Amino acid sequence: MKNNRRWTFALKPVIWMSVSLAGIAVLAGCASKPPEVKPTSTGWVKNQVADAYTFGFPLVATDIARERASGSAGQGQAPLNTFRHASALPPSGAGGAPSVDTLESAAWLDVSADPVIVSLPAAPRGRYLDARAFDAWTNALYSSADTTPYPKMQLIAFVPAGWTGTLPANATRVETRTRYVWLSVRVRVNGPRDVREARKLQTAMRIDTLTPAKGSAADPTPAVASAWPASGAKQPPVPPLPAALATIAPGAQAEALDANAFFARLARSLDDNPAATDDSHAMSQLADLGVKPGEPVQFKRSDAPLLDAGLADARERLATVPPNAITKNGWIWFGDGVGIYGTDYTLRAYLARRQTATGTKEGEVKPVTRVDSDGHALNGANQYTLHFTPGQLPPVRGFWTITAYTKDGALADAKLPRLSISDRDQFRKNRDGSVDVIVSAKAPGRARDANWLPAPEGEFQLAMRLYAPRPQASDGSWAPPPVTRQ
């Protein structure tokens, strides 16, 4: 079976979030017997709620993202095992801190009936192409940029853990313990005029399943017996979210749920996407709260204050930069642990709140800053300089970019000469070989226009993306320069 869909339309800002697509939601189910929560004067149960929320947050966020993405009726939607190709760069005003240097082809894969085979074309000389895949818990399963940013043709087989069938001889086997996998393929674009060339690669991307597909009428045997609920099996109901939440990012949407809605969705999603063996303690805590895979969740009204307090603590965690972040010169980014989280649930949830899936340090690092070298908020009314000493431009095997967004992560509304600068720009160098990047809303003058990154009016933030970075970018031995106000 082959599925490949292209869509073209006037994209709204929300489309350009890391998973961009139209809305669904959640409400708690009901149970015949409410769980027995054991409040104590020590606050242990409140902490247990906070821990359980932090643990389950990525799965709830991806569950929302998948439901928003899969389907065929809405803009930007496509069925499971089908590519959605972005056919244009994001417009002015697009939110979610979108990349303006890549086109993305994304798909949600379902491996419950049969392994899914993804075929990707070879990247032409000098054309960056990165295929990334994540399980439903946002753990990285695959990234071509980890080894090469300019790969040859790729044939990737996503299979349920423990599957023992036969795959094509030249396929790379990628096992997943979760039913659903998010796939993202990014192709570099050097401005709007280059989009047409990048789209040629999109037309060569394919998603297929083995034939005959297990679970079909021809062969109704599931790929792995009892791995996931049978198709059509009754699960606790999860009604739609309020329409007001339908256009915000999946992470923000998950955070907006109350305790009943959040844990009801978590219980339902656990049925399809089981936790890892090392998560046994976290699963035990969930069970103590009455949250069990595939079962309805209903808390007692008297537990509402306790649950609200636990969620408030957890949301504060998600708003706090984890201690294993790298912070230098006012920039914040992540290296070790990203994408392969183990039991670092706080880091995983923190990143899931901001970006549905974050690749490993070998695939990409993304330093972000909102302040200048004196700790003041960046503002387009001022002029700033990023001084790169000789040989200290961002170290990459792929490419790098710097983009200015509003303080809320949107592209500037004004028609600017460029939305980012990158390694392809012909910078004017100083006599010693150093490079000064000028950041401001107002052009600095013709003599320095080649080094100018236009910024939004008012407060803004800078995001530096290093695609296929070298090790010194992810271990902190290299850092972006401070943003110095002139």
Structure tokens at 71: 């389907």
Residue 176 β-bridge partners: 160
Instruction: Please give the C-alpha separations between residue 220 and each of 114, 180, 210, 231, in angstroms, as whole numbers.
Output: 11, 19, 13, 10
CA 379 from centroid of its chain's CA atoms? 27
Residue whose pair of structure tokens reads 């401070």 in the numeric block: 482
- Half-sphere CA count of 228, side-chain side, radius 13 A: 25
Structure tokens at 5: 């869909």
Q: Rounded distance, CA 85 to CA 103, Å?
A: 8
Q: Which of 184, 200, 195, 198 is nearest to 363 (CA)?
A: 184
The whole-number pLDDT of residue 427 equals: 94
- Domains annotated for the chain, with CATH where assigned, are 1-321 (2.60.40.1610), 366-485 (2.60.120.600)
Q: Residues 394, 466: contact at Cβ < 8 Å?
A: yes
* Local mean pLDDT, 10-residue blocks, the chain (486 residues): 40 36 33 47 77 98 92 69 93 88 96 94 91 97 92 95 91 96 95 90 93 49 52 62 75 92 94 96 94 91 92 96 94 93 96 88 95 97 97 96 94 83 94 96 88 94 96 94 96
The DSSP code sequence of 410-438 is PPPSS--S-SEEETTS-PPBPTTS-EEEE
Q: Residues 93, 11: contact at Cβ < 8 Å?
A: no
What is the tally of helices (H) and strands (E) in the chain?
A: 8, 22
The whole-number pLDDT of residue 356 equals: 76
Q: Rounded distance, CA 67 to CA 73, Å?
A: 12
435 — phi, psi (to 5°)? -130, 130
Q: Rounded distance, CA 244 to CA 226, Å?
A: 38
CA 478 from centroid of its chain's CA atoms? 24
Element (H, E) at 460: strand 460-469
Q: How many residues does the chain have?
A: 486
Q: Residues 201, 92: contact at Cβ < 8 Å?
A: no
3-state class (DSSP) for residue 288: helix
Q: Which of 148, 156, 182, 204 is nearest to 362 (CA)?
A: 148
Structure tokens at 247: 């256009």
The whole-number pLDDT of residue 71 equals: 64
Q: Rounded distance, CA 321 to CA 349, Å?
A: 11
The whole-number pLDDT of residue 445 equals: 86
The whole-number pLDDT of residue 211 equals: 62
Sheet architecture: strand order including 116-120? 2-3, 206-209, 116-120, 154-160, 172-176
Q: Residues 329, 482: contact at Cβ < 8 Å?
A: yes
3-state class (DSSP) for residue 440: strand
Q: Rounded distance, CA 314 to CA 49, Å?
A: 8
The whole-number pLDDT of residue 414 equals: 67
Instruction: Please give the C-alpha separations between residue 52 and each of 34, 60, 177, 276, 357, in angstroms, as whole numbers.
Output: 18, 12, 20, 15, 20
Greatest Cα-to-Cα distance within the chain, rounded to the nearest angstrom: 77
